[in-house]
Each structure stands twice: as structure tokens, then as C-alpha cells.
């Protein structure tokens, strides 16, 4: 039995608020239980210098956490004057995940920056960020279509993408770990899956004892099933239209 009463293969309550921002081309406030991440997509014309003239666009991501998103306050990375390894690693992961489902040629020479700011953290912030960033990105692509930045018959999004964490606690594989479970997990895995069910990223780490092939298989099953549910929620949110 889990502390919050969920089954081992059950997601926390998921809420996605589309169009949270009045300023960004796309945005979503995503909640996985008490984890809340504000995702914005900033779409601008032009690409970084190293891509110029190649007829392709660029998608990149930046992840950050507010200092009091966690139970004790952390110093700001801006104050420390440098970005920590964990932040870098997650930003790169989000960027790769979102680039996996976009056709950069179809995007044209446009750049999308996905900002994922964790307002409150309770485990699974990076996977929530990927899941929310997809909604913000889709909204920004709609904006680009509506505003003539991308032609109506050009479809940069070739699939959808979502992500979830899984892990083994006391020998039991479980889906979608909140902080209290995450710190106790022997193995921790983040899985990024497309809407069509293929893997974009599999990152499994033994925090305690190494894991065997059988455990790996069960974890992958849980993650694939969890992402299928997230895909449905993403689609429902996008069909329901903007609104805070």
C-alpha cells in the first residue's frame, strides 16, 4: 500500500492548465499531485547562428526550480553564479525529448525555447516538465499556424511525447513516484515515450542495489502504460481549448 493510497500502477491526479500565460505563444501549468511546473513555449523567428541558412528550426529547453519549491530553501543558481549539474542534465533531457517529435525542417527557420519552471516540487519534476512542455509546444505551433508564421498545410509535430518516472521501492516496481517514495527507491527510472508507443529516452539508475533484466522489464511496462494515459490527458487538454 502506498502512502497516498494509490495502486502501484496508478498515476497521481494530473491537471494541465493550458494558456496559463498571457504573454507566451504557448503555455501550460502542469500538476502531478503536488508537483507544479509552469511550462512556456517562446516561438521566435530566426535560429541560432550555427544553424543559419540551413532551412531548419531549433527547439531547446531550460529547466529551473524556484528556491522554495522544495521543503527547505535552496540558493538560487543566479545568485551562485552558475548552473548546477542536475539543472543542466534535465534541461538537455527535455530538449532532446521535444526535438524527437518535431520535424525541424517543417518548423522552418524558427526557434522555440521551452522554459520549465518548477513552482512546487514533489518528485517527478523532469517528467512533468516534458509532459507539460509538449502541450505548450503544441499550443505555440497552433499560434504559429494562426498567425501565418507556419503555413497551414505544414505540420511540424510528427508525434506527441510524454514522460513518467518509475522505480523499485522495497523490491516493488511502482509508477509515478512522489518525493517520499523517490528518496527510498533502490532503482529510479525516467522514461520518455511517444504517443505511438516508442522510446525516446530510457534512463535507469540503481541508487542502491543494481537491478536485473526482469526488474527492468517490469519497470518499462509500467512506464509505457503510464505514458499512454498521459497522452490521452494531453490530447483532451489540447482539444478543450485555451483557458486559465
User: According to the annotation, is 124 in a ligand binding site?
Assistant: yes
Out of 56, 96, 145, 184, which residue is the one contacting its own copies (CB under 8 A)? Answer: 96
Query: In which region does residue 232 sit, left (phi positive, over 0), alpha (psi from -120 to 50) or beta (all else)?
Result: alpha
Q: Does residue number 133 form part of the binding site for its own copies (CB under 8 A)?
A: no
Out of 51, 83, 225, 228, which residue is the one contacting its own copies (CB under 8 A)? Answer: 83
- CB-nearer residue toward its own copies: 81 or 151: 81
Q: Does residue number 3 form part of the binding site for its own copies (CB under 8 A)?
A: no
Alpha helix segments (H runs only) across 147-197: 179-182
Neighbouring CB atoms inside 10 A of 108's CB total 17
Determine contact, residues 164/198, Cβ cutoff 8 Å. Answer: no
- CB-nearer residue toward its own copies: 10 or 62: 62
Question: Which residues, at least 6 apart from 72, have a Cβ–Cβ distance to it below 8 Å?
Answer: none
- CB-nearer residue toward its own copies: 153 or 213: 213
Q: What is the largest CA-CA distance in the chain?
A: 57
Q: Does residue number 32 form part of the binding site for its own copies (CB under 8 A)?
A: no
180 to 239, contacts with its own copies by CB under 8 A?
189, 194, 196-206, 209-213, 216, 220
Q: How far is the CB of 37 from its own copies (least distance, A)?
A: 12
CA gap 126, 105 in Å, rounded:
27
User: According to the annotation, is 126 in a ligand binding site?
Assistant: yes
**From residue 144 to residue 173, what is the string marking binding to its own copies with x (rule CB under 8 A)?**
---------------x--------------
Q: Does residue number 242 form part of the binding site for its own copies (CB under 8 A)?
A: no
- CB-nearer residue toward its own copies: 7 or 205: 205
75-81 long-range contacts (CB < 8 A, ≥24 apart) are none
Closest by CA position to 36, among listed 94, 109, 118, 127: 118
- Give CA angle at 181 (176, 187), nearest 5°: 80
Out of 34, 154, 218, 228, which residue is the one contacting its own copies (CB under 8 A)? Answer: 34
Q: Does residue number 70 form part of the binding site for its own copies (CB under 8 A)?
A: yes
Helix (H) or strand (E) holding 37: strand 35-45
Q: What would the DSSP string read from start to end of 95-109?
A: HHHHHTTB-HHHH-S
CA gap 119, 116 in Å, rounded:
9
Out of 100, 142, 229, 235, which residue is the one contacting its own copies (CB under 8 A)? Answer: 100
Binding footprint of its own copies on the chain (CB under 8 A): 21-24, 27, 34, 38, 40, 42, 44, 62, 64, 66-73, 76-89, 91-92, 96, 100, 113, 115, 117, 119-122, 159, 189, 194, 196-206, 209-213, 216, 220
Amino acid at each position: 500500500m502506498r502512502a497516498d493510497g494509490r495502486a502501484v500502477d496508478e498515476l497521481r491526479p494530473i491537471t494541465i492548465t493550458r494558456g496559463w500565460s498571457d504573454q507566451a505563444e504557448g503555455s501550460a501549468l502542469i500538476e502531478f499531485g503536488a508537483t507544479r511546473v509552469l511550462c512556456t513555449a517562446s516561438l521566435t523567428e530566426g535560429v541560432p547562428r550555427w544553424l543559419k541558412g540551413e532551412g531548419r528550426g531549433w527547439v531547446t529547453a531550460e529547466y529551473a526550480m524556484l528556491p522554495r519549491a522544495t521543503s527547505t530553501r535552496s540558493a538560487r543558481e543566479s545568485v551562485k553564479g552558475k548552473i548546477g549539474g542536475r539543472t543542466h542534465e534535465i534541461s538537455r533531457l527535455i530538449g532532446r525529448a521535444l526535438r524527437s517529435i518535431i520535424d525541424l525542417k517543417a518548423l522552418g527557420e524558427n526557434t522555440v525555447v521551452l522554459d520549465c519552471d518548477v513552482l512546487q516540487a514533489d518528485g517527478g519534476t523532469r517528467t512533468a516538465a516534458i509532459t507539460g512542455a509538449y502541450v505548450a509546444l503544441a499550443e505555440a505551433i497552433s499560434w504559429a499556424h494562426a498567425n501565418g508564421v507556419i503555413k497551414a498545410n505544414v505540420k511540424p509535430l510528427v508525434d506527441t511525447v510524454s514522460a513518467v518516472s518509475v522505480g523499485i521501492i522495497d523490491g516493488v516496481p511502482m509508477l509515478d513516484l512522489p518525493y517520499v517514495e523517490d528518496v527510498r527507491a533502490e532503482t529510479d527510472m525516467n522514461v520518455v515515450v511517444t504517443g505511438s508507443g516508442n522510446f525516446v529516452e530510457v534512463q535507469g539508475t540503481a541508487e542502491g542495489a543494481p537491478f536485473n533484466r526482469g526488474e527492468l522489464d517490469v519497470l518499462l511496462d509500467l512506464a509505457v502504460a503510464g505514458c499512454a494515459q498521459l497522452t490521452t490527458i494531453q490530447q483532451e487538454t489540447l482539444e478543450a481549448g485555451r483557458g486559465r
